[in-house]
Amino acid sequence: MQSQGVSSHYWQGRPIWAEIDLDALANNVRLLKSQANGAALLAVVKANAYGHGAVAVARTALAAGADRLGVICVDEGEQLRRAGVTVPILVMGHTSSSAAQHLADLSLTPTVVSSEMALALARVASERGIEMPVHLKVDTGLNRYGLSPSEAADLGRWLRDLAGIRVEGLFTHFASADEGDKSYMVEQHRLFLSVAEQLNWVPIRHVSNTATLLGMPDMSLEMVRPGLGIYGCYPSNHVKRSLPLRPVLSLKGRVARLTSLASGESVSYGHTWTAPRRSLIGLVTCGYADGLPRALSNRGSVLVRGQRAPIVGRVCMDMCMVDLSDIPDVAVDDEVVIIGRQGEEEISADELAELCGTISYEILCGISARVPRLYLRQGRIVSKQTLVLELQDEVAANVPEGVLAEGPSPGGA
């Protein structure tokens, strides 16, 4: 008897896939927006929406009430524009001044941290007779990207009189919002507000990531920008579980082959695991090139028939092996759950992250493009995407009018 679950029989492609629960995603967006004290919500969909698929996530988030989208680079913004997304998209990371024309072509909102970038944008705006919105980033202590408080205030005042440029937003990023001690975050917030007071004509201020929104919703200001929470994960154990977020992604496969080993035989490269008894070994076609960290070698587990099966031997580039000796009636094609729930058991991205000494963000973002994505509503596939199959249009069916264009993006992108 094959293990139960809708996934085990309705996907006939490569026997490793990610299921993206669009209902859970929409639920998370609605919950997070309800926490924001009336602020607008910018859904962060950088890094292929944390491995979930940027286009499908963007469409679903917008349908659930997100107002804007956030990416890290121009290419990510262009991908969304090519998919017909028309809402404002903030490019939160560094962009070269040489990209000013392209930003205008795509109607993207850049983050500006230099007069050089501002002048390049102003020249383009003048040539086209348009006004370009920009956001200023204040580095209040993360010491990563942005301007010091005094530099940000000076640049903001200068930009106010620069023709063709409209400073629409001002933001910062907290360094320790997901830690128990909030004193550093509070100081960053104070520094940010001191800049905002000097630039009090800027209409949108935003500082709240998922951790801040969950733990300190009074910091929501005019806009919040959750990332990880949209995908149903909490940033750390120090963050309040003030909302019942639901995990969006499951990573699944099938038992591709069964091999019986005698006591003393080994598995995979380097002979790092030796069978202590006669053992039944299952092959799973998921390896570190798919996003299964090699650090899980001889440490992690998967779920088969509702039971945990340990990963044995080294995780390979394209596959791994699991010990199925204690699971009765296991068979080729049985469903394997790498991330997600099966029966009463669950393996979370947080669990894998802890075993690997990292964070759930890295686990999710590490799921590679060659892993098929299946998009589900009410347990049914409504769209799928693989390396050779473009995202189908069903995901866009419930997006409100005005956030998707029918044709190519602005500028013919």
Q: What is the pLDDT of residue 305?
A: 97
| The pLDDT of residue 399 | 66
Domains annotated on the chain, with CATH: 7-16+248-377 (2.40.37.10), 23-230 (3.20.20.10)
Average pLDDT rounded to a whole number, residues 231-242:
93
Would you give the end-to-end CA distance of the chain in angstroms? 50
Active-site residue (options: 182, 240, 269, 384): 269
* Dist. CA 348–CA 319, nearest whole Å: 20
The catalytically annotated residue of 33, 46, 137, 252 is 46
- Tell me the percentage of the chain whose pLDDT exceeds 70: 93
DSSP assignment letter at 11: -
Region of poorest pLDDT, from 88-97, 193-202, 346-355, 377-386: 377-386
What pLDDT score was predicted for residue 395? 58
Binned at pLDDT 50, 70 and 90, residue 105 comes out as: very high
∠ CA 402-408-413 to the nearest 5 degrees? 120
* Rounded average pLDDT over 78-94: 97
CA-closest candidate to residue 103, choices 354, 123, 84, 58: 123
By mean pLDDT, which of 5-14, 247-256, 343-352 is the weakest? 5-14
Give per-residue pLDDT as tens, 27-44: 999 999 999 999 999 999
Residue 46: active-site member: yes
137 is catalytic: no
Query: According to the model, what pLDDT value does residue 8 have?
Result: 40
As a whole number, mean pLDDT of residues 55-83 equals 98
pLDDT value, residue 413: 33
% of the chain exceeding 90 in pLDDT? 89
Based on its alpha-carbon atoms, the radius of gyration of the chain, rounded to whole angstroms, reads: 24
pTM of full prediction above 0.85:
yes
Whether residue 411 is predicted with pLDDT greater than 60 in this model: the reply is no
- Is the pLDDT score of 303 beyond 90? yes
